Chains A and B, each alone.
Chain A
Amino acid sequence: MIEALLLVIALGVFLLLLIGVSRDGRDDGAKLGLLAYREARPVGETTKRRRPGKGGRHA
C-alpha cells in the first residue's frame, strides 16, 4: 500500500518536472518549485533572515 502511494508520488513529482521543462522558454520554467535552483552561498553565510530591530538591514 505504502509502496503504491510512493510510486504515485514519484510519478506525480516527475510530472511536475516535465511541466516545468515544457514551460521553459515560453514562461520561466524555473518558477515551478521543483526546477528552481539557487546560487551557491559563500561558506559560513546563514540561511536565516535577520528580523528587523535585531541588528538586521532594516534596523
Chain B
Amino acid sequence: MRDLVMLGFMLLYVPLGLKNAFAGYLLWGWAGLMSVGAYLYGSMKGLPYAQIFALTTLASLILWRDQQRQPISLNRTLMWMSIFLAQGFMAALFAYPDLDRNWELFGNLAKTIFFCALMPILATSRLRIHAIVIMLGIAVSFHGMLDGLKFIASAGRHKAEGIDKFGDNNQFALMLVMVIPLLIYLFRYSEKRIVRWGCGVVGLLTVLAVVATQSRGGLLGLFILAAWIVIKGRHKAGGLLAIALATVLVTQLAPKEWNTRMHTLQNVEEDASFLGRVVAWKVSSAIALHNPVFGGGFRAVQSEAVWDRFYGAASLLDFIDTPRLKRSGVAAHSIWFEVMGDLGLVGFLLFLALLINALLTWRAITKLVRLNPVDALWASDLTDLLALVLVLYMVCGSALSAAYFEMPYIVMMLLEVIKQHLLRESVKAVPLPSS
C-alpha cells in the first residue's frame, strides 16, 4: 500500500521537478536526507530516488530557462569544497588495497559537493533560501518525529536506532540535533500559525528522539543548543520556557538506564567506550603521520590489515594511556581523526579550512546585516542558527565518524548563498547617480 502511495507521489513529483529546476533540486536534497526507501517494503523500496531527482534537476536546467537562475561562478566556499574533493580523489586513488568502501564514500562526497555547487545558481532569493530550510527540516525531522512519538507511546522505553543510511544511534542523534536549529528558525519566521506550531511540535518530538537514541553525544548537543538559546537568543524568556518544558518532558519520560548512561559523561577517564575511541584516534593519527599527504584512503582505519599495521605505531596521542583493544578495524569515532586517517594531514587542514571558511562567511554576513539591520534581520537569525548547526557538528562529531555527512556541507553552502543574496540586495539598494 505504501509503495502504491509513493508511486502516486512520484507521478506528481517528477513532472514538478522537470518543469522547475529548483523544485527538482529540493526533491534531490530531500530524497538524500529523507531516505524514503527505508519506510517502504515493496517494489518502490530499492528505487534510487536521489539519482532520479538529480537527473530530473539537470534535465530541467538544460531544457528550460529559469528566470531567477544566476550564472555559474566560483565562490570561496565552492573553491574550498572543490580542493577538498580533489584531495579526496587523490586519497582514494592512493589508498591502501582492499578498503571496503573507499570509492563508495568518495562517490558520496562527490555527489554531496556537486549538489552544493548547484545551490548558488538556483537558491537566488529569500523565498528559495526559506524553501531549502523547509526541505531540510521536513527531510530530517521526519525521522525525529517518528521516534519521538514512539518514545512517548512506549513511556520512554523505545530506543531510537535510526535508519541504516545514518549509521548507528550516535550518528542518528547527531543528525537529529543538527536539524533542531532549523526548526527553531521556521518556528520563528513562518507566517502561518499552523506551520509555526507544526515546527514547534516536531522540534519537541525531535528533542525526545535525541533522548531516545541514548547517545551521550546527543545529550551534549542538547546542552549546547540550550546554552546557545539562552546566550545568543533574542527571545530569552521564550527560549527558557521551551528549555524548561523539554527538561520536564525528558526527566519524566527517560528510563533509568538512560540516566545511568548519561552519568558516565562525568568520568570519561574510566569509561571503556571512551578509551576505545581514543585508541581509534591513535591509530587514525598514526596512519596520517605515515601518509601525511594523501592519508590511507576512505575508512582505512576500519580495515583490519591497516589497523593491525598501525596499532601501537607513533601517533599524536601517545601521551594518553589506553588499554589494549581486543577488536581490530574499529571506526575512527571522530570527524577530525577520521579525515586525518582517510585524507592525511593535508586533507585534515583542508577540512579545517572548510569549516573556518564557513565561520568567516557567518562573520561576513553579520557585517552585511549591519548595513541593513531591519530588512536583513532574518538573515542574521538564520545564519546564527546555521552557525549553531556547524558548532553542534564540530563538538558532537568529535566523538563520531561523520566527516562525510551531507548536512554540514549543505549548511556551509547555504551560508555562502545567504552572503551572495545579501550582497546582491545591497548593490540594488545603492541609489544610482542622477544624470
| Contact residues of B between 5 and 43, Cβ < 8 Å to A | 5-6, 9, 12-13, 16-17, 19-20, 22-23, 26-27, 30, 34, 36, 39
Which residues in B have their C-beta under 8 angstroms from that of A59? none
Are the CB atoms of B26 and A21 closer together than 8 Å?
Answer: yes
> Does chain A have a CB within 8 A of B274?
no
Q: Assess the A18–B26 pair: CB atoms within 8 A.
A: yes
Among B16, B128, B190, B381, point to the contact of A36 (Cβ < 8 A).
Answer: B190
- 13-31 of chain A: CB within 8 A of chain B: 13-15, 17-22, 24-25, 29-30
Q: How far is the CB of A55 from chain B (nearest CB, A)?
A: 23
| B 335-359 to A, binary, CB cutoff 8 A, 1 in contact else 0 | 0000000000000000000000000
- Return A18 CB to nearest CB of chain B, in Å: 5
Partner of A11, one of B5, B23, B145, B234: B5
Taking the complex as formed, is B1 at the interface, i.e. its CB lies under 8 A from any CB of chain A? yes
Q: A3-B146, A21-B20, A38-B191 are in contact. List 13 more A-B contacts (CB 8 A).
A: A4-B1, A7-B142, A11-B6, A13-B138, A15-B9, A21-B26, A33-B194, A34-B192, A35-B134, A36-B190, A36-B195, A39-B378, A40-B234
Q: Is the CB of A8 within 8 A of B16?
A: no
**Cβ proximity bits B29-68 to A, threshold 8 Å, 1 near / 0 not:** 0100010100100000000000000000000000000011
| Contact of A37 with B128 in the complex, beta carbons under 8 Å | no
Is B126 an interface position by the 8 A CB rule? Answer: yes
A45 to chain B, nearest CB (A): 11
B256 at the interface (CB under 8 A from A): no
How far apart are B230's CB and chain A's nearest CB, in angstroms?
14
Residues of B within 8 A of A37 (CB): 126-127, 130, 189-191, 378
**Would you give the 0/1 interface string for B150-162, flagging 1 where the beta carbon is closer than 8 Å to chain A?**
0000000000000
- Is the CB of B165 closer than 8 A to any CB of chain A? no
Q: Are A40 and B381 in contact (CB under 8 A)?
A: yes
Knowing A4-B1, A11-B6, A21-B22, the reply to whether A35 touches B27 (Cβ < 8 A) is: no
Closest CB of chain B to A37's CB: distance in Å?
5
7 A-B pairs closest in CB distance: A36-B191, A40-B377, A22-B20, A33-B192, A38-B191, A18-B23, A18-B16
- Say whether B189 contacts A21, CB under 8 Å: no
Query: Per-residue 0/1 for A36-52: is the Cβ within 8 Å of any B Cβ (1 yes, 0 no)?
Result: 11111001000000000
Main secondary structure on B side of the interface with A: helix
Whether B418 is near chain A, meaning CB under 8 Å from some CB there, is no
B30-A2 in contact (CB<8A) = no
Q: Closest residue of chain B to A26, judged by CB?
A: B67
In this complex, what residue of B is CB-closest to A36? B191
Please tell me if the beta carbons of B138 and A14 are within 8 angstroms of each other in the complex: yes
State the majority secondary structure of interface residues on A. helix
User: How long is the Cα–Cα vector from A8 to B146 in the complex, in angstroms?
Assistant: 13
A-side residues, CB < 8 A to B, are 2-4, 6-8, 10-11, 13-15, 17-22, 24-25, 29-30, 33-40, 43
Partner of A4, one of B2, B68, B127, B134: B2
> When A11-B5, A35-B131 are in contact, do A18 and B138 touch as well, CB less than 8 Å?
no
A21 touches B192 (CB 8 A): no
Contacts of A15 in B (CB 8 A): 9, 12-13, 16
How long is the Cα–Cα vector from A14 to B381 in the complex, in angstroms? Answer: 24
Would you give the shortest CB distance from B38 to chain A, in whole angstroms?
A: 10
* A38–B193 CA distance with the chains assembled, in angstroms: 11
B417 CB-CB contact with A under 8 Å:
no
Bound CA span A50–B43, Å: 56
25 A-B pairs in the complex with CB atoms less than 8 angstroms apart? A2-B149, A3-B39, A3-B146, A7-B2, A8-B5, A10-B142, A14-B30, A15-B13, A15-B16, A17-B26, A17-B131, A18-B26, A22-B16, A22-B19, A22-B23, A30-B127, A35-B131, A36-B190, A36-B191, A36-B195, A37-B189, A38-B189, A39-B378, A40-B378, A43-B234
Q: Does B261 contact A (CB under 8 A)?
A: no
- The distance from the CB of B21 to the nearest CB of chain A, in whole angstroms, is 10
Name the residue in A8, A14, A35 with the highest tally of chain B Cβ atoms < 10 Å from its Cβ: A14
B235 within 8 A of A: yes
A29 to B128, CA, bound (A): 10
**Residue of B1, B17, B191, B375 most packed against chain A (CB within 10 A):** B191
